[in-house]
Structure 1
Amino acid sequence: MLNRIVLRRLMMDARIGVYAWEKEAPQPIVVDLEFDLPHGDACFSDDLADTVDYAAIVERLRAVALTQPHRLVEAMAQTMCTVLQTEFDLQYVRLTLMKLAPFPGSEVGIVVERERAPDFRQEAKFFSTSRETA
């Protein structure tokens, strides 16, 4: 069963840029995000405790954008994905980061997809414990 949360058009300011004029003030960016839920429990329980709190994710991404300066959209997108995977235990993340108006009438951005292997140590621990109690 696949359950994927989708966040679109998340606007925020970011410390991002190579040129001196970009470093003077935060630059506007837009983030689109998709991530898989580890299970479908929330679909049946209707309980926030059974899912990933996307308000917390939004807050964390805004903090990264403002407190961790990057020169390149590629590097900021990677940092955001790493934070999401490590702090929120997400296996799959697809993140689009668009830098608004870096040049008159334009946008520039990147789409990154990151998937990490499931933690088989937990499964192995479960199965060994199950066999011991059987």
Structure 2
Amino acid sequence: MSASDLDWVHIEGLQIDTVIGVYEWEQQQTQRLLIDLAMAWDIQAAAQKDDIEQALDYAKVTEAVTAWVQQKPRQLIETVAEGIAQLVLQQFGVREVEVKVSKPGAVPSAANVAVSISRRQFDSPFG
């Protein structure tokens, strides 16, 4: 399957309440993050057999991502995005993942702030 033939599984608007932020007050309460994922996955086998065992189980992805985000306080949404990308690549074996992490209300004069990243199976944070 070439890169242009990739199918995509999406999870959009996943709401996760967690401790996130650089300021002391942010470390004292939870805030809501919104997570969007797009994961490259060949859906043909699952579609032909109508079999969840052949599919990318988005319920399991959602559970794993939520558990990871809530595991411990973090300061940056950049850290959250990178961690989610590595989790999905390693634990679920997708070929490519796009992650968007939004933190609504982080900047009072903006409706939202977010970071978006794209990672492939062969990418490594260590070069």
Shorter-normalised TM range: 0.7 to 0.9
| Matching residue within 61, 85, 89 for 1:85 | 89
Letter in 1 for 2:74: H
Aligned to 1:5: 9
Query: What TM-score comes out, normalization by structure 2 length?
Result: 0.85
Provide runs of 4+ in structure 1 moved above 3 Å: none
**Which residue, 115, 121, 127 being the options, matches 2:120?**
115
SS for the counterpart of 2:113 is: strand
Unaligned 5+ segments in structure 1 are 118-134
Deviation at 1:65, TM superposition (A): 1.3
Structure 2 equivalent of residue 76 of structure 1: 80
Larger Rg: 1
Instruction: Give the whole-Å Cα distance in 2 for the aligned partners of 1:64 and 1:100.
Output: 20
Matching of residues 1-134 of structure 1 within 5 Å: 1-38=5-42, 40-106=44-110, 107-117=112-122
Q: How far 1:89 moved relative to its partner?
A: 1.1
How many residue pairs are counted as aligned between the two chains? 117
Q: Which runs of 5+ in 2 are unaligned?
A: 123-127
- Identical aligned pairs, as a percentage? 26
CA deviation map 1:92-121 (0-9, x unaligned)? 00010001211325321100000123xxxx
**Greater fraction helix:** 1
Query: d(CA) in 2 for partners of 1:23 and 1:109?
Result: 19
Contact 1:26/1:66 (8 A) holds in 2? no
TM-score (norm 1): 0.81
